[in-house]
Amino acid sequence: MKVTLERLPESRVQLQIEIDDERLEKSLDSAYKRLAQKNRFPGFRPGKAPRPIVERAVGREGLIREALDKLVPAAYNEAIETENVDAIGQPDLEIEQLEPVKFTATVPIRPTVALNDYHSIRVDPEPVEVTSEMVEEQVLLLRRRHATQVPVDRAIQWDDVIIADVKASEDGNQFLDDENAEFPLREGKVLFVPGLAEEFLGMNKGDEKTFDIAVPEDFQVEQLKGKTATFTLTIHEVKEEQLPEADDEFANLVNADEFPDFASLRARIESDMKTSLENDAESKFRNSVIDKLVEGATLEYPRVLVEHEIDHLVREAMGNNQQQYQMYLQQLGRSEADFRETWREAADMRLRRSLVISELAEAEGLDVSAEEIEEELDTLVAPMGDDAARFRQMFATEEGVSTIRRNLLSRKTLERLAAIARGELQEEQA
- pLDDT band at 58; cut points 50, 70, 90: confident
Residue 71 counted as domain residue: yes
CATH number for the domain spanning 209: value is 3.10.50.40
Residue 275 counted as domain residue: no
- Among residues 242, 259, 285, the one where a domain terminates is 242
For residues 11 and 108, the answer to whether their CB atoms sit within 8 Å is yes
Query: What is the distance between the terminal CA atoms of the chain, rounded to a whole angstrom?
Result: 59
Residue 73 counted as domain residue: yes
- Amino acid present at 245: E
Mean pLDDT comparison of 218-232, 349-363, 371-385, 416-430, highest-scoring range: 349-363
Within this chain, do residues 424 and 304 fall inside the same structural domain, yes or no? yes
Within this chain, do residues 307 and 420 fall inside the same structural domain, yes or no? yes
Within this chain, do residues 195 and 311 fall inside the same structural domain, yes or no? no
Confirm whether pTM is higher than 0.85: no
Distance CA 371, CA 361 (A): 19
What is the predicted pLDDT for the residue at 430? 44
Residue 343 counted as domain residue: yes
For residues 231 and 213, the answer to whether their CB atoms sit within 8 Å is yes
Mean pLDDT of 162-175: 94
What percentage of the chain's residues is helix, strand, coil (to nearest 5)?
Answer: 55, 20, 25
Residue 388 counted as domain residue: yes
What does 262-312 look like in DSSP terms, one character per residue? Answer: HHHHHHHHHHHHHHHHHHHHHHHHHHHHHHHHHHH-EEE--HHHHHHHHHH
Reference 25, options 133, 132, 100; nearest CA is 100
Within this chain, do residues 164 and 45 fall inside the same structural domain, yes or no? no
Residue 161 counted as domain residue: yes
CATH number for the domain spanning 421: value is 1.10.3120.10
**Domain extent for 324:** 297-429
Reference 12, options 151, 110, 103, 93; nearest CA is 110
Within this chain, do residues 320 and 418 fall inside the same structural domain, yes or no? yes
State yes or no: cis peptide before 125, omega within 30 of 0: no
Distance CA 54, CA 178 (A): 72
CATH number for the domain spanning 23: value is 3.30.70.1050
Distance CA 128, CA 261 (A): 27
Within this chain, do residues 65 and 158 fall inside the same structural domain, yes or no? no
What is the predicted pLDDT for the residue at 55? 85
Q: 58 vs 47, 67, 214, 236, CA distance in Å?
A: 15, 12, 68, 80
Distance CA 422, CA 40 (A): 77
Residue 273 counted as domain residue: no
- pLDDT band at 426; cut points 50, 70, 90: low
Beta strand extents in 82-198 (DSSP E only):
92-98, 101-108, 112-114, 148-151, 161-170, 173-184
For residues 228 and 213, the answer to whether their CB atoms sit within 8 Å is yes
Cβ-based burial of 170 (10 A; exposed 0-12, middle 13-18, buried ≥19): middle
- Amino acid present at 218: D
Within this chain, do residues 397 and 304 fall inside the same structural domain, yes or no? yes
The torsion defined by the Cα of 178, 182, 185 and 189, in degrees rounded to 10, comes to -60
- pLDDT band at 4; cut points 50, 70, 90: very high
Angle (deg, nearest 10), helices 303-318 and 322-332? 90
Beta strand extents in 185-252 (DSSP E only):
208-214, 228-242
> Edge-to-edge strands of the sheet including 92-98?
2-8, 12-18, 101-108, 92-98
Within this chain, do residues 102 and 153 fall inside the same structural domain, yes or no? no
Provide the domain count of the chain.
Answer: 3
Helix locations, 167-237, DSSP H: 196-200
Within this chain, do residues 304 and 411 fall inside the same structural domain, yes or no? yes
Cβ atoms < 10 Å from Cβ of 196: 17
- Among residues 47, 80, 110, the one where a domain terminates is 110
Give the DSSP H or E segment for 5: strand 2-8
Within this chain, do residues 105 and 153 fall inside the same structural domain, yes or no? no
- Among residues 215, 242, 269, the one where a domain terminates is 242
Within this chain, do residues 199 and 94 fall inside the same structural domain, yes or no? no
Buried b (16+ CB within 10 A) or exposed e, 374-395: eebbeebbeeeeeeeeebbeeb
What mean pLDDT, rounded, does the chain reach? 92
Residue 276 counted as domain residue: no
Span of 4-18, 38-52, 61-75, 77-91 with lowest mean pLDDT: 38-52
382 against 113, higher pLDDT: 113
Mean pLDDT of 14-32: 91
